[in-house]
Amino acid sequence: MKPNLILIAPNENIAQVANLVIRESEINCRVVVGNLDQGVKLARIAEKTGVEAIISRGGTFLGIQQVIDKIPLVQINVSAFDLLEALAAASQFSYKVGVVGYPNTIYDAASVGRYLNLQVMEIPVENPIQLEQQLLEAIKAGIKVIVGDTISVEIALKLGIQGVLISSGKRAIYNALTRAEELAMLRRKEVLAQERLRTILDAVGEGILATDHTQTITHCNPAVQKYLGLTQEKITGRRLRDLIPQYQGAEELVSMAGQQYLFNSQKIAYQGQDNAGLIISVKPLKQIQETETKVRKKLHQRGLVAKHTFNDIVGNSEIINATIYKAKKISKSHATVLLTGKTGVGKEMFAQSIHNASSRCHEPFVAVNCAAFSESLLESELFGYVEGSFTDARKGGKIGLFELAHRGTIFLDEIGDMSLAVQAKVLRVMQEKEVIRLGDDRIIPVDIRIIAATNYDLWEAVKKGLFREDLYYRVNVLTLSIPTLRERGDDVVLLAEHFCSRQAPHLKIEEGAFLPLLAYDWPGNVRELFNFVEQLIVLHEGERITGEDVSNLMISTLKQGKDLLGFVHSPRRLTDGMILEALAKCNGNQSRACELLGIDRSTLWRRLKKLKP
């Protein structure tokens, strides 16, 4: 779409030529006639109606230039040919010619006049009110004819001498129109760029202030207006130090209206000036912390998440139900938790379940096995490091696990295997709620809940000097002991059936097939049981698992298997020792002992009766 232009002609003659040029060039321009004050008035109206550029000439142009500064203004120049043509017409009346006009229209009039053997007096108009007096003085000096604009010609005729109008030719008007069109298009692009920039600044979450080289504020976006509690009109035009005297420059925390904001300034460099102004970003400290939390959330979505809940813990024994009940109560607290129990009892599953039942369930869950790392590596993993802090440090540094767990939970498995040096640093994190990356001096606040786990007595480690006593008291706030599989009784069968159904849903399980598992102590606990079931699934042939399949695999793979699996033999081969051992394994429960031995209650009763003295 072509720009919307207006040409304000000081006389009808220029208007007629302009209309002719416009028709020939198909430029989108309206022509109106108005000289001096009338022309200025028309220009004001045109600006308000959305005109994109104004074209005019002489004194009218200069008048418009005084009041219009937001849109392009283009002057119709008086060409040498236009001036030559007017002087030629004036020479018919006299060789003494006065050329009247504003300085911008009568350049080189005397030089052009010499080519026509004319004596030309240039009469620059300084003030239109004094023009008549200037012409009277020219007449006294011998001037017989005046060449100039409409007003000059009218006054000359009034004073009794000839007047010749300087007209602008088609070329001069065409050049002015095309120049106005170019400037209007450039302004469109500039306005679009400014609008795009304004939209960007308005959309930016942080506040933005811009100043000139005197630190006078020139721009501000809605965010900073909100932070300062002031309108744009009350911010722009003020000196930065008057508006925010507490801000001294560079990166700084500033308190305003009871809130803390991070100010950061950047110098504007322009055409060799290293300080043409400042761009200052203003961000609430709370918003920075929230953004940091979102980043950490995205990081934990890549895997730092607790997968298990209390519903995933399989078992109906009294002891496991009591443990789950206590764990659920613990999950409602923010206090540090110490999980104790033998290897393989499921301490991490309880840690994840506690996290998922807590108010931190939507935040990261970070698990680290302290026994899996050397002292230096564990320290760098837990606390992170900055670039160049040690040989082979990752470029850009690395965020530590404590930071990753911000607002969430960190699970320190096998905490007793930490070195005393790392224990001291962990103690500081628990006390101060802050970390310092390796090689850095910047303190980073963290909000974390710590769940620690150990498979041996930490107090014994304290007495031996292997574990810090002060850290022990920090860790041992809420203690949860996870029972061994041996203590959970029939849960062994439930767990085996669960693992088998989950890993191989196509296999059918014979009723009571896993009862032989009750004869084994399972020193490796749930982990050992899971591994056994996996072996059973892989090595089994057919579509049904029987008690014999389970018994045979136990004999061939489990420690003490051959001694314990005599229970699955027929009653005729049962010895008194087997019966007594089965009762001991089942804690005196005769029904379970019968299932384990493969006999009925009456047979067991008869055998026990024979054993009595």
pLDDT at 187 over 70: yes
With a threshold of 0.85, does the pTM exceed it? no
Winning range, highest mean pLDDT, from 59-73, 175-189, 233-247, 592-606: 175-189
By percentage, how much of the chain surpasses pLDDT 70? 92
Please enumerate in sequence order all residues whose Cβ is within 8 A of that of 197, keeping only pairs 6 or more positions apart, or say none.
none
- Asked if residue 575 lies in contact with residue 599, where contact means CB atoms within 8 angstroms, the answer is no
More confidently predicted of 108 and 77: 77
Residue 114 pLDDT greater than 60, yes or no: yes
Residues 29 and 7 sit within 8 Å (Cβ to Cβ)? yes
Q: What pLDDT score was predicted for residue 579?
A: 77
- Residue-wise pLDDT for 378-405, tens only, equals 998 899 888 766 666 667 678 889 998 9
Rg (the chain; Cα; Å)? 48
The span from the CA of 134 to the CA of 98, in Å, is: 11
Q: Environment class of residue 259 by beta-carbon count within 10 Å: exposed (0-12), middle (13-18) or buried (19+)?
A: exposed
Q: How far is CA 307 from the centre of its chain?
A: 27
Q: Are β-strands 544-545 and 508-509 bridged in parallel, bridged antiparallel, or unpaired? A: parallel
Cite the DSSP H helix spans in 481-613.
491-503, 525-539, 547-557, 561-564, 576-585, 590-597, 601-611
Whether 560 has a pLDDT exceeding 70, the answer reads no
Domains detected in the chain:
5-77+172-182 (3.40.50.2300), 80-167 (3.40.50.10660), 205-285 (3.30.450.20), 310-481 (3.40.50.300), 489-611 (no CATH)
User: What whole-number distance in Å separates Cα of residue 472 and Cα of residue 474?
Assistant: 5
What does the pLDDT look like over 323-369, one tens digit per residue? Answer: 999 999 999 999 999 999 999 999 999 999 999 999 999 888 999 99
Give the mean model confidence (pLDDT) for residues 208-229.
88
Say what the pLDDT of residue 163 is: 92
By percentage, how much of the chain surpasses pLDDT 90? Answer: 43
Quote the pLDDT of residue 131. 84
40 C-beta neighbours (distance < 10 Å), count? 22
| 325 residue type, one letter | Y
Check residue 373 and report its DSSP letter: S
- Of these ranges, 3-7, 119-123, 276-280, 604-608, the one predicted with the greatest mean pLDDT is 3-7
Q: Which of 154-163, 224-233, 259-268 has the highest mean pLDDT?
A: 154-163
Segment 296-315, tens digit of pLDDT: 566 555 567 788 999 999 99
Structure tokens at 577: 């020792």
Tokens for 197? 């920039």
In this predicted structure, the answer to whether residue 492 has a pLDDT above a threshold of 70 is yes
CA angle 355, 358, 359 (to 5 degrees): 125
Would you state the structure tokens that stand for residue 456, as one six-digit string?
């041996």
Tokens of 254: 């500033």
Taking a C-beta distance cutoff of 8 angstroms, is the pair 549, 584 a contact? no
Q: How far apart are CA 238 and CA 221, in angstroms?
A: 15
Angle at the Cα of 305 from the Cα atoms of 432 and 480, rounded to 5 degrees:
65
Residues in CB range of 533: below 8 A, 6 or more apart: 496, 499, 500, 503
H runs (alpha helix) in 302-344: 318-331
Lowest mean pLDDT among 244-253, 432-441, 534-543: 244-253
C-alpha 212/C-alpha 536 separation (Å) is 79
| Bridge partners for 369 per DSSP | 413
Q: Which residues, including other chains, have CB under 8 Å from residue 485's CB and lie 6 or more apart?
A: 344, 345, 491, 492, 495, 522, 525, 526, 528, 529
Residues 520, 505: Cα–Cα separation, whole Å: 25
pLDDT of residue 184: 94
Looking at the chain, the number of H-run helices and the number of E-run strands are 26, 24
Report pLDDT digits (tens) over 1-27: 899 999 999 888 899 999 999 999 989
pLDDT of residue 574: 63
pLDDT surpasses 60 at 570 = no
Burial readout 522-550 (b: 16 or more C-beta within 10 A, e: otherwise): bebbbebbbebbeebeeebeeeebbbebb
Pick from 78-87, 241-250, 411-420, 567-576: least confident: 567-576
In sequence order, the 6+-apart residues with CB closer than 8 A to the CB of 88 are 116
Write down the pLDDT at residue 392: 63
